[in-house]
Amino acid sequence: MEFRDLKKQYQELKPQIDAAMKRVCQTADFISGTEVKELEYMLAEYTGVKHCITCANGTDALTLALMAWNIGRGDAVFVPDFTFFASGETVAYEGAVPVFVDVEEDTFNMSPDSLKKAVRKVKEEGKLVPRAILAVDLFGQPADYSQLRSIAKEYELLILEDGAQGFGGQIGKKKACSFGDISTTSFFPAKPLGCYGDGGAVFTDNDEWAALMRSYRIHGKGEDKYDNVCIGVNSRLDTIQAAVLNVKLEAFRKYELEAVNYVAEKYTKELKDIVKTPHVKDGYYSSWAQYSILLKNEKERNGLQIHLKENGIPSMIYYPKPMSRQTAFKGIDCVKTELKVTEELCKRILALPLHPYMTAEEQGKVIDSLKGFLM
Ligand SMILES: *Cc1c(COP(=O)(O)O)cnc(C)c1O
């Protein structure tokens, strides 16, 4: 059994994907081909955001946003402690100070209460300028943007939505990657919408920031690549990846997102009385980058993982360590607040196999194995 079955997805979409890749090879338009523009148009339309700018990966997408806002030395950016490393790494890479904020126990997303305390703490100390909230849509569910937005307004902060795992999620009718002043996503193969290598995108309604990011991603280009008006990076999505994504986006919209929600619902129905199943807030819709359950304690979690493995079932621990405790942040300026929930989650969380192509039989095996261990 695969944790996320990309081979099966390829088998389903093979004729279209092969044809799309072949077209790119034949035109030899490997960089900035028409497929890239087509994809950007489709993604902007899907998310309801004015500008979509693709780039090389989800980490670069965050960096491009921070560059557009000129965030760097002396600035504070508020980041959840429970997320993939890139969310905090990019902030430190730009020379700004990541302020680690705790998360909500039921959604695993940034806690508005913890955020408020962190902002006040930084303001009181007066050493850093609070600039932005980097909110992550963890495991597919959008963060609580109505509360985050009111905190952002109160303290004049920008919101950067890290939608690397959130693409396809919704609050009401509004789509993920439209909640930030700038939003980002990743097309890493295992993300809700993945390509066949690395890829990413930024989204914004702001014309000025969009123009800056379009320039930064191609060596700070002015008129063209050989007219350089500022120091940028080389971060484009290549045409083959865009061609793959154009095919995959259609499948994602037509049935994959619905199919993965169906599988997630079944897990919840079968497991909710045995373990703590993930909570989706009222009016929220998840794209289920992960389906993560909470066990009683570390011993039970580790025991279950071994038991599943013995039964041929893969599972993953996202994340085994709070970001603030990563070795990389040891010698680096950062601010910690109370991070108790994150500490707990790292010990008790376990992600189960989940993807749109999972059969009832495969899922039944996971459920039975889990019940066999816990009941
Ligand atoms: C995957 C991920 C990223 C980075 O995306 P890449 O495309 O791998 O660079 C950033 N933030 C979060 C929350 C992620 O899950």
pLDDT category at 293 given cuts 50, 70, 90 is: very high
Position in ligand 1 atom list of the atom nearest CA 137: 13
Position in ligand 1 atom list of the atom nearest CA 87: 11
- The structural domains of the chain, with segments of one domain joined by +, span 6-248, 255-374
Distance 125 CA to ligand 1 centre (A): 31
pLDDT at 365: 98
pLDDT at 68: 98
Distance 100 CA to ligand 1 centre (A): 17
Residue range 161-184: average pLDDT? 98
pLDDT category at 298 given cuts 50, 70, 90 is: very high
Residues with CB under 6 Å of ligand 1 are: 57-59, 83-84, 86-87, 136, 162, 164-165, 186, 188, 198, 200
pLDDT at 50: 98
User: Hey, which residues does 100 pair with through a beta bridge?
Assistant: 79, 336
Ramachandran bin of 176, using left for φ above 0, alpha for ψ from -120 to 50, beta for the remaining angles? beta
What's the whole-model pTM score? 0.98
pLDDT at 40: 98
Please give the single-letter amino acid code of residue 78: F
Topology classification of domain 6-248: Aspartate Aminotransferase; domain 2 (3.40.640)
Q: How far apart are CA 96 and CA 334, in angstroms?
A: 9
CB 99 within 8 A of CB 93: no
Q: Which residues contact 96 (CB under 8 A, 6 or more apart)?
A: 66, 71, 72, 73, 74, 75, 76, 77, 131
Return the number of other C-beta atoms located less than 10 Å from residue 123's C-beta: 13
Q: How far apart are CA 156 and CA 179, in angstroms?
A: 16
Distance 172 CA to ligand 1 centre (A): 25
pLDDT above 90 (res 303): yes
Position in ligand 1 atom list of the atom nearest CA 199: 7
Q: Nearest 5 degrees, angle CA 44-CA 53-CA 27?
A: 100
Structure tokens at 150: 């009111």
Tell me how far CA of residue 324 lies from CA of 129, 135, 153, 227, 348, in angstroms: 20, 16, 26, 41, 18
Position in ligand 1 atom list of the atom nearest CA 86: 10
Tell me the per-residue pLDDT of 276-292, one tens digit each, with 9 for 90 and over.
999 999 999 999 999 99
Question: What's the mean per-residue pLDDT of the chain?
Answer: 97
| DSSP-based three-state secondary structure for 3 | coil
pLDDT above 90 (res 299): yes
pLDDT above 90 (res 296): yes
Structure tokens at 50: 């004015």
Position in ligand 1 atom list of the atom nearest CA 57: 7
Distance 373 CA to ligand 1 centre (A): 33
Nearest alpha carbon, ligand 1 atom 2: 164
pLDDT at 119: 98
Structure tokens at 95: 């020379």
Tell me the per-residue pLDDT of 37-77, one tens digit each, with 9 for 90 and over.
999 999 999 999 999 999 999 999 999 999 999 999 999 99
pLDDT above 90 (res 225): no
Q: How far apart are CA 69 and CA 126, in angstroms?
A: 21
Ordered alpha helix ranges (H), 183-321: 207-216, 239-251, 257-271, 298-310
Tell me the per-residue pLDDT of 109-168, one tens digit each, with 9 for 90 and over.
999 999 999 999 999 999 999 999 999 999 999 999 999 999 999 999 999 999 999 999
User: Which helix (H) or strand (E) is 230 found in, with range?
Assistant: none
- Provide the angle, in degrees to the nearest 10, between the axes of the packed helices 86-93 and 58-68: 40
Exposure pattern of 238-267 as b/e (b: 16+ CB <10 Å)?
bbbbbbbbbbbbebbeeebbebbbebbeeb
Distance 85 CA to ligand 1 centre (A): 8
pLDDT category at 36 given cuts 50, 70, 90 is: very high
pLDDT category at 331 given cuts 50, 70, 90 is: confident
- The CATH architecture to which 255-374 belongs is Alpha-Beta Complex (3.90)
Distance 361 CA to ligand 1 centre (A): 31
Task: Name the residue with tokens 């061609």.
Answer: 243
Residue range 182-206: average pLDDT? 98
Tell me the per-residue pLDDT of 242-261, one tens digit each, with 9 for 90 and over.
999 999 999 999 999 999 99
